[in-house]
Amino acid sequence: MGKATGFLDYKRVSNSDIPPKERLFNFEEFHTYLNRDERMEQAARCMNCGVPFCQSAINLGGMVTGCPLHNLIPEWNDEVYKGHEEHAFNRLYKTSNFPEFTGRVCPALCEKACMCGQYGDSVTVHDNELYLIETAFSKGYIQPRKPKIRTGKKVAVIGSGPSGLAAADELNKRGHNVDVYEREDHIGGLLMYGIPNMKLDKRVIDRRQKLMEEEGVRFFTGINIGRDKRSKELLSEYDAVILCCGAKKPRPLNVADPGKVKGVYYAVDFLTGATKALMASRDRTVASLKEHGGYIEAEGKNVVVVGGGDTGNDCIGTVMRLGAKSVTALEMMPKPSLERLPSNPWPEWPKVLKTDYGHEEAISVFGKDPRVFETTVKSVTTDKRGNIKQIETVKVTFKDGKLVEVEGTEKTLKCDLLLIAAGFIGCEDAVAEEFELKRSPRGTVLTGEESYHINGTKLFSAGDMHRGQSLVVWAISEGRGCAKEVDEFLMGYTNL
C-alpha cells in the first residue's frame, strides 16, 4: 500500500466527458482523461484491503460483485501510485487479455465492491485500467509475444467475440496453432457491431487483431459455418474446436415482427448497419456517415426503443446522432431507487438508477429523460404501405411472478422507427444445428457440469453461447477458462 492515507487525502475524480450537445456531431469516443499526476493520486486512494472484494467476483443477492477476471487491482493501483507504470501494466496483463475493451465498456463490477464505496466514493479502478493499457501501447510496453515452441496441435475457434478472442489468445501463447473463424467481415463479434463506435472505437479492435496476428493467430472472416465450412471439415482438420458464437437470437416483440412491419428492427441489426456504414465513410463524423448512406435512417423520425439495457442505451445514443425527432425508451421494470435501499447493502451490486450517455444526450436535446418505466408495447398501427406510424403502450406490473397489463393505462405514441432491444434468448440455430448440439431451455449449449467441454467430443463452448447473455468481462473470463480446459484436453496437463 503506497499511501496509507490516500483514501482520506484525495477525493474521487473520474474521467470527464465532452458535453452531450458537442459530441453529437460525430461518432468518436467522448471521454477526456486525467494527466499522469492526477492518475497517481487516484490510484493512491486504493486501501489495499485485507479482503479485496474488488477482485473476488462473489455472488451476493443473486448478482456478482467484484471482477470476474480476478484482476490484481490493489497491486497495480499501488504500482501506478509509485509511478511504476510498466510493472503495473504487467500485473494487469497477467489476468486480463484485453484491458482496452473492459476499460471502455465494462460496468466496473470491481468498483461496486470497492471498500471505499461502502461509505464514500470507490476507487476509479475502471479509469485506472484504461490508463494502464493505453499507456502500455503508447510507450511500447506491449510487443508481440510469439511462443518459442509450438505443440503441433491445431485449434479452431468459431466466433471472434471477446470469449473467442480470449480463448485464441491463451491457446496461442501456450504454443498451439489457432485459427479463428468469423462470419462477419471484421472480427470482434458484438464488440465490433453491437457496440457503437463512440463507446468502443473500432480502431482499438483492429489494433488488437494486428497484435494477435503478429503473435501467430490466424483470422478468417466472411466464413459462415455450415455453408462455407462444414462441421465435418473442422472436426477432421483440428484437434479441438471451440464454439464462441454468442447469444445473438433476439427476444421478439409479439406485436411487431421486423419481417412484416416496415420500420421495426432488432437493435443489433440497426447498430450493425450504422457501424458498417460509419466504417465505410471517410471519417467518423455524422455528416460523412449521412453522405455515405447505407444505414437505417432515423433523421426526423419519432423513435421508440423497447428495452432498458446497454443495447437500448446504445440505440438512443445512435439515433440522437442521426437526428431523431423524438426518442422514447420503454422499460418493463419499475424505476430503480436513486440511492441504495437497506435491502441492497454494500458490497452487493447497487440496484440504483443509472443515467447512461444516451440518456444524457436525449435529456440535453429534448429536456427530459426518454425512459418510461413499467411500460410495454400493446399494439402497432401501420399506414397503407405497411409502415409503422404509431404504437399503443400499456402499463405493466408483476403479480404472482407474472407480467400483467394494468387496465385503463393505454396511451398512443407517434412512432416512425421501433427498435427492439429486449435482450436475447440464446445462440442462433445455424451453428448449433450444424454441430447437432443439445441446448438448454435458455438456448445455451449444454456442456459437462462446471465444464466447457461437450462430453464425448472434441468440441468446447464458451462465452454467451455457453453462459447466456452477459458482460464482456464474463466472456473474457469464459474464454480463458475454456482455453485452460482445452489445453488439458490436448496435452494431458495445463500450465495456463
CATH of 6-138, one of 2.40.50.100, 1.10.1060.10, 3.30.465.10, 3.30.70.2860: 1.10.1060.10
For residue 213, what are the contacts with CB-CB under 8 A and spacing of at least 6?
219
Specify the pLDDT at position 449: 93
Strands 402-405, 388-399: pairing is: antiparallel
- State the Cα–Cα distance between residues 72 and 408, nearest whole angstrom: 54
| Three-state secondary structure call for residue 295 | coil
Give the N- to C-terminal CA distance of the chain in Å, as an integer: 29
Identify the CATH class of 264-420: alpha beta
CATH number of 154-247+425-491: 3.50.50.60
Residue 396, beta-bridge partner list: 405
DSSP characters over 360-407:
HHHHHHHSS--EEESEEEEEEEE-TTSBEEEEEEEEEEEETTEEEE-T
Specify the pLDDT at position 50: 86
Strands 371-373, 177-182: pairing is: unpaired
Do residues 46 and 8 lie in contact, with contact meaning Cβ atoms separated by under 8 Å?
Answer: no
Residue that the C-alpha cell 435501499 belongs to: 341
Specify the pLDDT at position 108: 96
347 preceded by cis ω (within 30°)? yes
Specify the pLDDT at position 401: 86
Domain 264-420 in the same topology as domain 154-247+425-491: yes
Do residues 405 and 394 lie in contact, with contact meaning Cβ atoms separated by under 8 Å?
Answer: yes
Task: Compute the C-alpha angle 190/193/197, nearest 5°.
Answer: 110
For residue 363, what are the contacts with CB-CB under 8 A and spacing of at least 6?
20, 355, 369, 370
Whole-model pTM over 0.85: yes
C-alpha dihedral (166, 266, 28, 317), degrees to nearest 10:
-120
**Domain ranges (residues) in the chain:** 6-138, 154-247+425-491, 264-420
Residue whose C-alpha is closest to residue 297's, from 282, 280, 319: 319
Specify the pLDDT at position 256: 87
Residue 329, beta-bridge partner list: 305, 371
Do residues 66 and 54 lie in contact, with contact meaning Cβ atoms separated by under 8 Å?
Answer: yes
Block means of pLDDT (10 residues each) for the chain, 496 residues, are: 86 97 97 97 93 92 93 96 97 98 97 94 97 98 96 98 98 98 97 97 98 98 96 97 96 90 97 97 95 96 96 98 98 95 93 96 98 97 96 95 94 98 94 96 95 97 96 98 98 96
Q: How many CA atoms lie within 13 A of 17 on its CB side?
A: 17
Specify the pLDDT at position 2: 65
| Three-state secondary structure call for residue 188 | coil
